[in-house]
């Protein structure tokens, strides 16, 4: 049966000392909470990975990079590869975030390469998808989500696909304070699970964790997480304070 996961995505926030402090606070709070009904992951900037890894118990708090390069090594100034991420002890990478797609031109093809390289390095992937406001309003959102998933993930074998967590993040809900209603989110999560079932069968679909992201907070997490196909959250703003992040972690 699939896992529930609450993952933070710090984005481009915190200095290294601030990030280490926040990671320690999350780690301590998770340890103190005892048995949780979800796995906890924090997604941090590349610069923070090694220092954060040193202050967390990786068996209790997973560690994600927010991106990786579409090449393994070589003359790609400024890039950070999947093997480099894995060598820090991180066990996840977030790929396909709408901010990467939108601001840095990440295409389905580039993401497909990143997915392959991350898996080769033994990283699990939190793979994001989601529509813009225009796509929501003109009704094309399901086609958009289908293409985002099919063109970057569905070349994988069922065995490789077991390392994929999907995050549905409607772009119009990210950082806007406008959460998708739990019914809107559930509709898309069920649709995504259906796509996975069509491609890989019911068993794989039932085992796939699908997270919701977009203005998720302690106040709205319980209603979202109560839906049958919402298996947790990918949390931006509310992951930057241990207290609000833990308020979501304990929403299950």
Residues 231, 210 contacting (CB under 8 angstroms): yes
Round to whole Å and give the CA distance between 200 and 86.
Answer: 27
Among 234, 242, 246, 249, binds ligand 13P (CB under 6 A): 234
Q: Which of 45, 62, 232, 236 binds ligand 13P (CB under 6 A)?
A: 236
Strand-pair category, 61-65 with 5-9? unpaired
Q: Which residues contact 201 (CB under 8 A, 6 or more apart)?
A: 158
Q: Which of 26, 149, 174, 210 binds ligand 13P (CB under 6 A)?
A: 174
Residue 148 CA to chain centroid, in angstroms?
Answer: 15
155 given a catalytic annotation? no
Can 97 be counted among the known catalytic residues? yes
214 binds ligand 13P (CB under 6 A): yes
- Catalytic pick among 97, 99, 131, 148: 97
In this structure, is the dihedral angle defined by the CA atoms of residues 100, 106, 110 and 112, taken in order, positive or negative?
A: positive
Q: Which residue of 169, 192, 205, 209 would you call a contact of ligand 13P, by CB under 6 A?
A: 169
By CB under 6 A, the count of residues binding ligand 13P is 14
DSSP string for residues in 74-93? SS-TT---HHHHHHTT--EE
Shortest CB 26 distance to ligand 13P, Å: 16
User: In angstroms, what is the minimal distance from the CB of 147 to ligand 13P?
Assistant: 20
Residue with tokens 């992937």: 125
The nearest distance, CB 201 to ligand 13P, in angstroms, is: 29
Write out the catalytic residue numbers. 97, 169
């Amino acid at each position: 049966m699939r896992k529930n996961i609450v993952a933070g995505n710090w984005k481009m926030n915190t200095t290294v000392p601030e990030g280490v402090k926040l990671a320690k606070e999350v780690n301590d709070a998770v340890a103190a909470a005892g048995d949780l009904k979800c796995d906890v992951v924090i997604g941090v900037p590349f610069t923070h990975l090694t220092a954060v890894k040193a202050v967390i118990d990786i068996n209790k708090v997973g560690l994600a990079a927010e991106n990786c390069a579409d090449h393994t090594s070589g003359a790609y100034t400024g890039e950070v590869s999947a093997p480099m991420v894995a060598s820090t002890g991180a066990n996840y990478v977030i790929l396909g975030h709408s901010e990467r797609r939108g601001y840095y031109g990440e295409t389905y093809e580039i993401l497909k390469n990143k997915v392959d390289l991350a898996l080769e390095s033994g990283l699990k992937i939190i793979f994001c998808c989601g529509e813009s406001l225009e796509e929501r309003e003109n009704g094309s959102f399901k086609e958009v989500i289908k293409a985002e998933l099919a063109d970057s993930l569905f070349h994988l074998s069922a065995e490789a696909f077991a390392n994929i967590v999907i995050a549905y993040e409607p772009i119009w809900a990210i950082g806007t304070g406008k959460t998708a209603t739990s019914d809107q989110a559930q509709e898309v999560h069920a649709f995504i699970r259906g796509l996975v079932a069509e491609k890989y069968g019911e068993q794989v679909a039932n085992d796939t964790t699908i997270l919701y992201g977009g203005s998720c907070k302690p106040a709205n997490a319980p209603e979202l997480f109560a839906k049958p196909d919402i298996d947790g959250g990918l949390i931006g703003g509310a992951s930057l304070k241990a207290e609000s992040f833990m308020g979501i972690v304990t929403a299950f």
